[in-house]
Amino acid sequence: MKIRRFITDFIITFVVTLIVTAGLTYIWEGAFNWETAFRFAIIFGIVFPSVNALRNK
């Protein structure tokens, strides 16, 4: 696995997930829930690039 590609994919996935989750929690609850947004962003930021790297081996 190329570390540079993994870091790039992690950052892109992290930012997109953070924005989407923060927006959805704002719509759903009426306030931003940053704890949930960061948790999902970290989890998806690690899992999705890892699965993609394993699939493209």
Q: How far apart are CA 57 and CA 54, in angstroms?
A: 5
Tell whether the model's pLDDT for residue 1 goes beyond 80: no
- 18-24: average pLDDT: 97
Burial of 7 (0-12, 13-18, 19+ CB in 10 A): exposed
Give tens-digit pLDDT for 31-55: 999 999 999 999 999 999 999 989 9
Mean pLDDT of the chain: 94
Contact, 43 vs 8, CB < 8 A? Answer: no
- Residue 23 pLDDT: 97
